[in-house]
Structure 1
Amino acid sequence: MGVMDHADGTLDGLDPRMHGADAAGPDGPVPPSGGSTASTATAPQPAKTAGGDGKPRRRPLPLWDRVKFLILLGAVFLFVVAADVSGDPLMTWADAFRIQARKSAWVLVLLGLEVLHQLHMLIAERWSAYHVFWTDRVFGRAERRMLRLNDWNRYRLSRAAKWVVGLALALFIYARLSHTSVFDALVQVPGALWDAIPFVLQIVLLMVLVVGQFVVMFWFLSKGGVDTYFPEDITTRFADVWGQDHVVSRVQENVFYLERPEEIESRGGHVPGGILLWGPPGTGKTLIAEAVAGETGKPFVFVDPGAFSAMFIGVGILKVKSLFRKLRKLSLRYGGVIVFFDEADTLGSRGALNGGFGRGGMGAGARSWFARQGAPASAAPGLGGPGAAGRRADPFGARDGGSGDLCNGLSYLSAAARSEITREAAREQFVVGGGGGGFDGTLQALLTEMSGLKKPRGFLNRVVRRTLGMRPKPPPKYRILVMMATNMPQSLDEALLRPGRIDRQYKVGYPSKEGRIRTFEGYLAKVRHELTPEQIDRLAIMSPESTGATIKDTVNEALVQAVKDGREVITWQDMLRARVIKEYGLADDHEHIDRERHSIALHEACHAVVAYRMQRGRVIDLATIERRGGVGGFVAHVAVEDRMFMWKSEIEIQVMVSLASLAGERMFFEGDNTVGVGGDLRSATLLVANFISSAAMGETLASRLSMLEQQMGNASIDADRPFGEQVEVKLRELYERTEAVLGANRREILALTHALETYKTITGEDVEAIMEGRTGPTVDGRRYHEPDFLSVAERYHSDAVRAHRGQTYELRKLPELGRAAASSPAEAPTSSSALPAVAPPAPPAVRSPSGGRPPVAGQGQEGLGS
């Protein structure tokens, strides 16, 4: 009222658009005559409208906006005049007008100023040159001078000016109430304040008792979970992040623009405001954030995953607002700030339920056919024992009773094939999105703060200025870089990930082979070791899905094994032992009975033979019959190369590897088989059904998934029976091919069976040595190619078959084939079962060279090693 907006010279009711088309050039507003391009480019431009001649003028105000303050001031003056007349019957209206004109002259002054103000705007609405003069020459020039100061100094000057104006207004009101001049009031104020202290204390005490308890309680509840670090507080650097160079380079790019925003803002761009780091656990997302904190010259705010969890609804909202208030202050003071939300999926989603994996999974055709068979489409083999490694953990749980899996049914498959099988089961389970942050308003508050950084701030700026008909001043540029990390990106709200909130999304996936080599080298450099570059390269090949966290843990476990043995230096043997423990878990202290031991060993030998003979690009890593949880044994494979896609022929081979257990048991046990093949059959059936329905693995080219989408939800599908027949035909075809492979490798199957019964656990190199008839690191494969081996092995197997039929109960003694190639236990890989249970460790000489248990007297077992 009566005061021009000294920030932009505009009042409420202006056209929200900027200059019209005639007043703008191709690159933005054209500066007025007499003004420089550089100065007008940074100063806010007044809202204008073009008249009939195309010249910029002020947009006409509505009648009510033009007279509302005049009416208000006139009403105030008439009110005080009427009060005098009503209080003194002898006073006339003319006398009351004269008296109040002297006593309330300030009202008339404000009324006159408002009249001048409206005349000023009326002229600006009709005279373009007058309008441009005031907006660009007078107020625009003052604004450009203020813009020469940095944001922090302008903020402090603005705050000081507000205090001065507020105190002056309070002093004026006190002078009017005390019927004295402003200067006398300035002298009387200290005494008046001193006299009012008892009354003020009473008011304050009452407020503390009534409101203070809630304020204090919620203030304490809204604190915690947020830590602020400065560059000198963290020593982690980008050079400490190994195996994720492509992500680090992009994050460095964002940090560079935060440090030097003018590099992109001077070219018309903006500093990216958000980064999402997503990927499997342990791949280095939090480590990258720590490196950002160590590298940047800006404050780093770390938000704990549970920072917004609270007992009372609404506390999370207070925490969000408190956090961003702190971020804005740090941004103004230091020119920028970085905030990192760890485990961002705990923020939740505004949806009530969120699917576990979203897109993908088994094709609709396969699901429909499984439903017609009365079985859940999510059925998949239990993974059981090797739960130490997350990628081999059992997402379905162990089966109860006699239907439990004999072996790890998915360990024979590639990572892509395992993903096809397990994805559907995880997808069909209902998963509540994140920590439910979307239900108490926390997520909504976060979304508002992330997208509302440019809205006007402050009560005086937002409320008072708008009440006076003045546009609120825009806030300064808050350069806040938001970083989030999660291994469940599908649980994040879509609004959180839109550009403007999260501009960049980087997958921090499993490191490549070169990345794994660099990570092994980095962690091994911190300890004493004697590994060669060739051995480190081999470790990287053997660990295709290892993350930085698992590699760090493996090196630490190897150091633990070395210390147990009383050594200071990590050896190759220590690394192999540590890898077995971390990758596959510790074996149970369980001994199979003789005939079950033989059947399990033969089961795994059939898997190993078909895999060795048929697979390309994947090698056997480990074969074992030691029980781990609900798994009686397994053959583990690793990929020797990082690939993205699988071929139809490779899928068929993996199905054959799964079917090898059934074909082998029936071949060697007169058509009988154990229930342990159930997991392998589920894997094979799901793979075939999925790829027939979506990848042209069967006789037809059509994608069954697309065909079912055209049914518009029709539950009656006539193609279910032909589809099931296609699955059965393909399984039968691959089963017969598997039988042929096993029939041509009977000696090798019996040889591997004998080695597994003897050593319990052997390496992939030992499997290769047995198959090729040469010396391995533990097993001398030449012994299995001697003329008398086959007859000895067949007789032993015949005893096992008779025991299976119930004709005998005990097997004869396991055949002894001589000494192995390893000259000392230190040269042979060791399985987890060979590790001593307590310290100090047993002397190396008593360990089985393969890492299996030493032969137990009375059981007729003797290892092939020394």
Structure 2
Amino acid sequence: MSDSNKENKSNMPKFKFSSYWIYGGIFLAIIAIQFFSSGDLASKSISKNKFDEILKDNDIKKIVVINKDVAQIYLTQEALKKEKHQKFTTSTFYRPGDAVYEYNFGDQRTFEQNVSEAKKEKKLIVDIDNKEKTSIFDAIIGFLPFIILIAIWLFFMKRMSGGGSGSGGGGQIFSIGKSKAKLFDKDTKVKTTFENVAGLEGAKEEVQEIVDFLKSPEKYTSLGGKIPKGALLVGPPGTGKTLLAKAVAGEAGVPFFSLSGSDFVEMFVGVGASRVRDLFKQAQQKSPSIIFIDEIDAIGRARGKNSMTGGNDERENTLNQLLTEMDGFGTDTNVIVLAATNRADVLDKALMRAGRFDRQIYVDLPDIRERQEIFEVHIKPLKLADDVNVEFLAQQTPGFSGADIANMCNEAALIAARHGKKAIHHQDFLDAVDRIVGGLEKKKKRITPKEKKVIAFHEAGHATVSWMLEHAAPLVKVTIVPRGQSLGAAWYLPAERLIVQTEQMLDEMCATLGGRAAEKIIFNKISTGALSDLEKVTKQARAMVTVYGLNDEVGNITYYDSSGNDAFVKPYSEETGKMIDREISKMIEIQYQRAIELLSNNKEKLTVLAELLLEKEVIFKDDLQKIFGKRPFEALDTEIKPEDEIDLPTEETSTES
């Protein structure tokens, strides 16, 4: 066989059997039986005159009245031989013994009376019989609504039960209570290992210990210890909780059941609890094993908090079953439960206690060293140019999670490909940061010259004040190119601090207000462009007064409740509330006047910087050094490893008059 024939044969659609074919075959068989078994096909309707003629000739053997309105005429053997009847008796559909003619007589009493009179007059021998006859199609049509409803119900039940997916033979109505967990064992190995997880050293160490428990439990049980029941991975989105679980599946070498918390949720009562029981039953049969429940807050929320639905809803029943399976009677099996959530504050206390989730592993956002390791992982498959500086990229991405860094690397590759480059350069990564944080660049956005001048002085004000203050973050670049919702932006490189002092927060507030202060000094007017700045400083001032206790008037008091129970109740009196509002306004106004004083003393340099920004649209740290000279606090900046922070005014500036 030639290659082309093989290829054509391989491309031919494969025969696939469907159960619906059986239903179709049965339906066609019913039609065929009805079609061929019916003697009506061979009969011929006749008029009253024709009937009277046949009756007069004494050709009728018997008459069968069907449903009191139609008479089927059966002929005698002598009549069947007559030529006038043979054109009907020799028909393809005629079978011996069937009725030859049909006569729709109308009124049955009149018909029977006429036949009786003819029998007396002509001395005929004719039998009349009455029958009730029902067509199979009439019966089907009568039950058709019920058949349709049953078919729709079966279809939706099949869809809701998983359509054939999931373990335990899901897909049929009787397996809806089976677990939907995916099983990973020696036949379906996971390729992710701890080598693929960059950073997260503390979390990896604790998770690695769980793997060791299952690989060599005698190492720990020989001293009288017990294997932990569960570990909860907690952290912001994108920090690598699910990735850690995949690494456990790849490293453990034991059966690994993976599913989401929403897989237990169903519209039918008792299904969630049934799936929990089935899940732990499967895990116990394959013990030692690991169960991983992603987004466990879907079923693990605290009970009794929702007064609208009562305390006995389906989610709480599922949670109760999970609590019993994790630590209840008859749970002495080597099954470890891993769970992940970014909402540990809403989980039920019974779920968090020792003996269920013995360990809480916090997966935090990566620091500068861990970000560099994450970059090293994600740039391996990329084709890089020689100018890429991974250490600088780690400094430029504070607050980025592992998922954000992966997205940034991919975005840099797309940007390089868009410009037709053969390799990804360092500038492509910087453009990717701008694209992710600031949004898409909008060079064609219509901005009047007056508005552009206001934006330039606004951003120049931010840059000037931050350059003059000791604790403000050093500048990286300033741009007035519209990006996303903002008309301009300033990129900073702040120090990575574990604690923040009062002076540092005040300097940051002053630098944030530098944009509005510059508008006031140059134009003697202010615009709406400082909305994001005002929002930022208001939040900072409120946190200083009500959360961190950094205000002398309010004192060493915090009104912050980490449990989140004060959402609808103010924890202070009306009089204290007025004092808090007064101190917040006073703090912001002092920093605003401080920014005005700084800019007034450096008005000429501010104007030069703004004119340069109008000319170039993007300026960098070197441009500021040429105008202001070397920053006096440069030595202090180099002592601390820098990290980037971005301040984006997100409101459009109004046209100055």
- Answer whether TM exceeds 0.5 for this pair: yes
Within 5 Å, which residues of 2 pair with 1:1-40?
none
Return the match for 1:538 from 392, 403, 413: 392
- Structure 2 segments unaligned to the other structure (5+ residues): 1-153, 162-169, 632-654
Tell me whether 1:225 sits opposite 2:101 in the alignment.
no
Tell me whether 1:618 sits opposite 2:473 in the alignment.
yes
Partner in structure 2 of residue 591 of structure 1: 446
Return the match for 1:267 from 223, 227, 230: 223
Within 5 Å, which residues of 2 pair with 1:97-496?
218-223=173-178, 225-231=180-186, 233-331=189-287, 336-351=288-303, 439=315, 441-452=317-328, 455-456=329-330, 477-496=332-351
Q: 1:131-172 deviations in whole A, cap 9, x for unaligned?
A: xxxxxxxxxxxxxxxxxxxxxxxxxxxxxxxxxxxxxxxxxx
What is the one-letter code of the residue matched to 1:221? Answer: I
The residue matched to 1:267 in structure 2 has which SS?
Answer: coil
Within 5 Å, which residues of 2 pair with 1:604-643?
604-616=459-471, 618-641=473-496, 643=497
What is the one-letter code of the residue matched to 2:201? Answer: D
Q: Contact (CA 8 Å) 1:543, 1:638: kept in 2 or not?
A: no
Separation in structure 2 between the aligned mates of residue 555 and residue 630 of structure 1, nearest angstrom: 23
CA shift, 1:330, in A, is 0.8
Q: Contact (CA 8 Å) 1:275, 1:484: kept in 2 or not?
A: yes
Q: Contact (CA 8 Å) 1:529, 1:571: kept in 2 or not?
A: yes
CA shift, 1:224, in A, is 6.1
Tell me whether 1:568 sits opposite 2:418 in the alignment.
no
Partner in structure 2 of residue 692 of structure 1: 545
Return the match for 1:746 from 594, 603, 608: 603
Q: Contact (CA 8 Å) 2:300, 2:347: kept in 1 or not?
A: yes
Separation in structure 2 between the aligned mates of residue 260 and residue 749 of structure 1, nearest angstrom: 68
CA shift, 1:758, in A, is 3.3
Separation in structure 2 between the aligned mates of residue 703 and residue 686 of structure 1, nearest angstrom: 19
What is the one-letter code of the residue matched to 2:601? Answer: A
Separation in structure 1 between the aligned mates of residue 386 and residue 314 of structure 2, nearest angstrom: 51
What is the one-letter code of the residue matched to 1:569? Answer: A
Separation in structure 1 between the aligned mates of residue 308 and residue 523 of structure 2, nearest angstrom: 44
Separation in structure 1 between the aligned mates of residue 462 and residue 599 of structure 2, nearest angstrom: 10
Partner in structure 2 of residue 650 of structure 1: 504
CA shift, 1:352, in A, is 5.8
CA shift, 1:256, in A, is 0.7
The residue matched to 1:287 in structure 2 has which SS?
Answer: helix
Separation in structure 2 between the aligned mates of residue 327 and residue 529 of structure 1, nearest angstrom: 45
Partner in structure 2 of residue 737 of structure 1: 594
Q: Contact (CA 8 Å) 2:386, 2:425: kept in 1 or not?
A: yes
CA shift, 1:525, in A, is 2.2
Q: 1:505-530 deviations in whole A, cap 9, x for unaligned?
A: 11111112111111112222222213
What is the one-letter code of the residue matched to 1:227? Answer: K
Q: 1:243 to 1:705 in 2, by over 3 A?
A: closer
CA shift, 1:674, in A, is 1.0
Aligned residues: 459
Separation in structure 1 between the aligned mates of residue 225 and residue 560 of structure 2, nearest angstrom: 46
TM-score by length of 1: 0.49
What is the one-letter code of the residue matched to 2:294? Answer: D
Partner in structure 2 of residue 676 of structure 1: 529
Q: 1:436-483 deviations in whole A, cap 9, x for unaligned?
A: 98635212211121112xx24xxxxxxxxxxxxxxxxxx7x4111111
Within 5 Å, which residues of 2 pair with 1:717-736?
717-736=574-593
Q: Contact (CA 8 Å) 1:280, 1:510: kept in 2 or not?
A: yes
- Structure 1 segments unaligned to the other structure (5+ residues): 1-208, 355-429, 457-474, 775-802, 806-866
Tell me whether 1:600 sits opposite 2:476 in the alignment.
no
Q: 1:763 to 1:315 in 2, by over 3 A?
A: farther
Separation in structure 1 between the aligned mates of residue 624 and residue 425 of structure 2, nearest angstrom: 23
Q: Contact (CA 8 Å) 2:302, 2:349: kept in 1 or not?
A: no
Q: Contact (CA 8 Å) 2:408, 2:429: kept in 1 or not?
A: yes
Within 5 Å, which residues of 2 pair with 1:824-843?
none
Separation in structure 2 between the aligned mates of residue 716 and residue 772 of structure 1, nearest angstrom: 51
CA shift, 1:764, in A, is 4.8
Q: Contact (CA 8 Å) 2:527, 2:656: kept in 1 or not?
A: no
Q: 1:645 to 1:431 in 2, by over 3 A?
A: farther
Separation in structure 2 between the aligned mates of residue 337 and residue 771 of structure 1, nearest angstrom: 65
Partner in structure 1 of residue 7 of structure 2: none
Separation in structure 1 between the aligned mates of residue 471 and residue 204 of structure 2, nearest angstrom: 34
Tell me whether 1:507 sits opposite 2:362 in the alignment.
yes
What is the one-letter code of the residue matched to 2:491? Answer: A
What is the one-letter code of the residue matched to 1:513? Answer: I
What is the one-letter code of the residue matched to 2:508? Answer: Q
Q: 1:437 to 1:557 in 2, by over 3 A?
A: farther
The residue matched to 2:257 in structure 1 has which SS?
Answer: strand
Q: Contact (CA 8 Å) 1:225, 1:304: kept in 2 or not?
A: no
Q: 1:651 to 1:274 in 2, by over 3 A?
A: same
The residue matched to 1:448 in structure 2 has which SS?
Answer: helix
Partner in structure 2 of residue 556 of structure 1: 410
Separation in structure 1 between the aligned mates of residue 414 and residue 174 of structure 2, nearest angstrom: 46
Q: 1:299-353 deviations in whole A, cap 9, x for unaligned?
A: 111113431122222211111111111111011xxxx101111122222414465
The residue matched to 2:575 in structure 1 has which SS?
Answer: coil
Coordinate RMSD, CA, aligned: 3.4
CA shift, 1:498, in A, is 1.1
CA shift, 1:717, in A, is 4.0
What is the one-letter code of the residue matched to 2:320? Answer: Q
Q: Contact (CA 8 Å) 1:664, 1:742: kept in 2 or not?
A: yes
Q: Contact (CA 8 Å) 1:244, 1:515: kept in 2 or not?
A: yes
Q: Contact (CA 8 Å) 1:626, 1:761: kept in 2 or not?
A: yes
CA shift, 1:569, in A, is 2.0
Separation in structure 1 between the aligned mates of residue 530 and residue 437 of structure 2, nearest angstrom: 23
Q: 1:439 to 1:343 in 2, by over 3 A?
A: closer
- The more displaced of 586-595 and 523-532 is 523-532
What is the one-letter code of the residue matched to 1:337? Answer: S
The residue matched to 1:601 in structure 2 has which SS?
Answer: helix
Q: 1:759-801 deviations in whole A, cap 9, x for unaligned?
A: 4444455555554399xxxxxxxxxxxxxxxxxxxxxxxxxxx
Separation in structure 2 between the aligned mates of residue 557 and residue 569 of structure 1, nearest angstrom: 13
Percent identity at matched positions?
29
The residue matched to 1:631 in structure 2 has which SS?
Answer: coil
Q: 1:328 to 1:582 in 2, by over 3 A?
A: same
TM-score by length of 2: 0.64
Q: 1:443 to 1:218 in 2, by over 3 A?
A: farther
Separation in structure 2 between the aligned mates of residue 634 and residue 261 of structure 1, nearest angstrom: 56
CA shift, 1:587, in A, is 2.6
Separation in structure 2 between the aligned mates of residue 682 and residue 451 of structure 1, nearest angstrom: 48
Q: 1:634 to 1:562 in 2, by over 3 A?
A: closer
